[in-house]
């Protein structure tokens, strides 16, 4: 299966799960809202250019905004994650480039600790920005922090569960293509 087709299928699956499963779960508390859809952006190949990464992230967020009837909140959060993603990968990838020859971020490509840090940083950034845009002020700062921590925690639990239950078969980058 080509990379393009695989990524389009991932996008469709993540959007459908977010819209028809996770958004239908009654909130465990007023602070917890699970988000899994942006994992699509985290799983995009390393070779995607920064411009295309931003465009793909914007369209991903816009699709979710359409289904959730939110005015660009998810699009803005996805674009921020896509903008910061190359910097985080650059900081966390192994310094010896001979060990770094996979096509996309994964625990196998980056090792578990850097991958977990990569996912944590971008998930936290996504949720801080999204919650701030939802509330448009800090209001009660304690409620703001609780919502960020609770939403990030449940989203990380979902992300690592998906990562463990559905490991991706990764291919290597080669110099021939």
- What's residue 137's pLDDT? 64
Sign for the pseudo-dihedral over CA of 117, 124, 165, 57: negative
**Residue 109 and residue 107: Cα distance in Å, rounded?**
6
The answer to whether 32 and 52 have CB atoms below 8 angstroms apart is no
Residue 141 confidence (pLDDT) above 80? yes
pLDDT of 173 strictly over 90: no
Instruction: Name the 3-class secondary structure at 172.
Output: strand
The percentage of residues in the chain with a pLDDT greater than 90, rounded to a whole number, is 60
What ranges do the domains of the chain cover? 3-165
Q: For residue 96, give every residue at least 6 positions away whose Cβ sits within 8 Å of its Cβ, in sequence order, or none.
A: none
For 75-129, write each residue's pLDDT tens digit: 999 999 999 999 999 998 777 655 556 788 988 888 899 999 999 999 999 999 9
Q: pTM score, two decimals?
A: 0.89
104 is written with which tokens? 């996309």
């Amino acid at each position: 299966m080509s990379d393009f087709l695989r990524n389009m299928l991932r996008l469709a699956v993540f959007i459908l799960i977010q819209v028809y499963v996770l958004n239908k779960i009654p909130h465990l508390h007023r602070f917890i809202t699970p988000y899994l859809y942006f994992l699509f952006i985290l799983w995009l190949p390393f070779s995607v250019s920064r411009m295309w990464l931003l465009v793909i992230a914007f369209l991903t967020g816009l699709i979710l905004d359409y289904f959730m009837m939110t005015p660009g909140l998810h699009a803005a959060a996805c674009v921020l994650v896509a903008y910061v993603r190359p910097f985080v990968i650059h900081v966390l990838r192994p310094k010896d480039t001979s060990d770094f020859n996979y096509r996309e971020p994964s625990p196998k490509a980056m090792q578990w600790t850097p991958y977990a840090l990569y996912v944590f940083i971008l998930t936290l950034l996504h949720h801080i920005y999204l919650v701030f845009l939802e509330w448009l002020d800090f209001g009660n700062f304690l409620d703001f922090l609780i919502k960020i921590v609770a939403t990030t925690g449940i989203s990380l639990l979902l992300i690592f569960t998906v990562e463990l239950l559905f490991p991706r078969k990764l291919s290597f980058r080669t110099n021939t293509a």
